[in-house]
């Protein structure tokens, strides 16, 4: 069973919904636009847009139909007749939901949705229902949705066979090894080809799919173990390393248990995830050593070095910043850098505003506050100078009053 979020407008829908809940005796009471995956028995949660901006009621899907009103704006959208309308014990505002579930990205941009889904794990959906105090807790089984198609073919290769193949460091090229590492690092070792392509810095899934096939052919030849076969006897090369499951529009590729076991024994996951600061410090040390070395030695290393850099995953701690502080600073600066007094170097393509960056006078990492009083708006050049320039070469960093006029150019 799943939960669908339906939207209502306070001036048109709220009072009617309250009346339906008051008069409901368990029967069908109205139809609403709903996500196309809706099934009879699914739960519905109603959200009223501004000025209420809160989750207010629940119901149950009775049947999924075409829009009953041919002249309605929903005439080409999926709709459902609903029953058992109930007002929630209390209205839960969007602000409260964001505070209680800060990692749930869906709340940042509400749309009609069905949860749980690939962006909303079961645990988050459960916490959401607890927050709303919806009775009769629901049990989710997202992986067995009716529109899910599985393609799993057994391979004759064992974990020991794959361990033997992966231990041969010349068998796979650098791009293939990187792709396998990135795939292994994903949650449950599963990922869509498109997303894996993005991790590889590519624009589509085609490179990923091709490398899966070439890796399978190389390993099959090295081990002398054939791939899974179709009914007509042709090879399913893609199924040598992965199982595939299609949910909705997308295929999810999951590394076979035998492959995961082999890579775990090799310790790939532990070796390839590093803290970001450690990676940066390592690079700076290598740069310093290279500059101190002779031109001849650098030239030799450059001739032997791979042209494509190795991809690694990094861990990084981030501060959850106050958007109001950023907005106040940008309005105060009015497009003028508060360091050098020059105009912002360019205009943002996203919203047409002058591009400036927020700099904290006392850094957050040193206990500084994320407040307007402890921050200034700087152009990228002044911001980099603040972090990497010499102290005597920097313009003075002074926190400016919110009501102060922008610095003169």
Read out DSSP for 104-140?
-GGGGS--SEEESBTTB-HHHHHHHHHHHT-SS----
10-residue stretch averages of pLDDT, the chain, 409 residues long: 82 83 65 75 86 86 69 62 84 87 80 74 81 61 42 80 91 88 82 85 84 92 89 83 77 88 76 68 86 90 76 70 91 94 92 93 88 94 89 50 38
Whole-number Å distance between alpha carbons of 386 and 115: 45
Rounded to 5 degrees, φ, ψ at 357 are -120, 150
Which burial class, exposed, middle or buried, applies to 309 when counting CB atoms under 10 A from its CB (0-12, 13-18, 19+)? exposed
SS3 category, 85: strand
Residues with Cβ within 8 Å of residue 355, at least 6 apart in sequence: 344, 345, 346, 347, 348, 379, 380
Neighbours of 338 (CB within 10 A): 24
In degrees, rounded to 5, the angle at the alpha carbon of residue 244 between the alpha carbons of residues 226 and 187 is 115
The DSSP bridge partners found for residue 33 are 79
**22-30, long-range: CB < 8 A, 24+ apart:** 24/83, 24/84, 24/85, 24/86, 26/83, 26/84, 27/83, 28/62, 28/81, 28/82, 28/83, 29/59, 29/82, 29/83, 29/85, 30/81, 30/82, 30/85
Residue 81: the pLDDT is 80
Q: Is the peptide bond before 321 cis (omega within 30 degrees of 0)?
A: no
What is the DSSP code (8-state) at residue 11?
A: I
- pLDDT at position 247: 62
| pLDDT number for residue 147 | 42
Whole-number pLDDT of residue 138: 46
Cβ contacts of 387 within 8 Å, gap of 6 or more: none
Q: What is the pLDDT of residue 407?
A: 36
Report how far apart, in Å, the C-alpha atoms of 88 and of each of 51, 56, 101 are.
Answer: 18, 6, 18
């Amino acid at each position: 069973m799943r939960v669908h979020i339906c939207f209502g407008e306070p001036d048109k829908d709220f009072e009617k919904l309250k009346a339906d809940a008051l008069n409901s005796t368990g029967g069908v009471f109205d139809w609403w636009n709903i996500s196309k995956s809706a099934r009879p028995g699914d739960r519905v949660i109603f959200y009223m847009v501004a000025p209420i901006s809160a989750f207010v009621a629940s119901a149950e899907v009775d049947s999924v139909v075409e829009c009953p009103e041919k002249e309605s704006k929903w005439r080409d959208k999926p709709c459902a007749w609903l029953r058992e309308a109930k007002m929630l014990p209390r209205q839960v505002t969007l602000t409260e939901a964001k505070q209680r579930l800060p990692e749930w990205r869906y709340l940042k941009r509400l749309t009609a949705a069905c949860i749980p889904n690939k962006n909303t794990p079961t645990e988050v959906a459960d916490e959401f229902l607890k927050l709303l105090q919806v009775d009769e807790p629901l049990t989710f089984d997202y992986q067995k949705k009716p529109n899910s198609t599985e393609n799993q073919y057994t391979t004759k290769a064992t974990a020991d066979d794959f361990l033997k193949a992966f231990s041969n460091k010349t068998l796979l090229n650098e791009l293939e090894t990187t792709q396998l590492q990135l795939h292994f690092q994903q949650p449950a070792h599963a990922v869509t080809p498109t997303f894996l392509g993005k991790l590889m810095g590519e624009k589509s899934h085609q490179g990923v799919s091709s490398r899966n096939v070439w890796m399978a052919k190389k390993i099959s030849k090295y081990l002398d173990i054939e791939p899974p076969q179709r009914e007509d006897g042709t090879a399913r090369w893609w199924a040598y390393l992965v199982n595939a499951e299609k949910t909705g529009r997308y295929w999810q590729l999951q590394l076979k248990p035998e492959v995961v076991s082999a890579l775990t024994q090799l310790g790939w996951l532990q070796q390839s995830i590093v803290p970001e600061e450690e990676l940066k410090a390592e690079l700076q040390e290598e740069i310093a050593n290279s500059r101190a070395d002779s031109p001849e030695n650098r030239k030799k290393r450059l001739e032997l070095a791979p042209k494509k850099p190795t991809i690694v995953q990094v861990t990084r701690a981030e501060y959850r910043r106050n958007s109001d502080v950023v907005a106040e600073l940008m309005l105060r600066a009015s497009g003028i850098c508060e360091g050098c007094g020059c105009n912002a170097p360019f205009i943002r393509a996203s919203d047409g505003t002058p591009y400036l960056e927020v700099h904290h006078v006392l850094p957050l990492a040193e206990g500084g506050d994320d407040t307007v009083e402890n921050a200034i708006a700087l152009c990228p050049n002044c911001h980099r100078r603040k972090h990497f320039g010499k102290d005597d070469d920097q313009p003075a960093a002074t926190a400016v009053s919110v009501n102060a006029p922008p610095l003169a150019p």
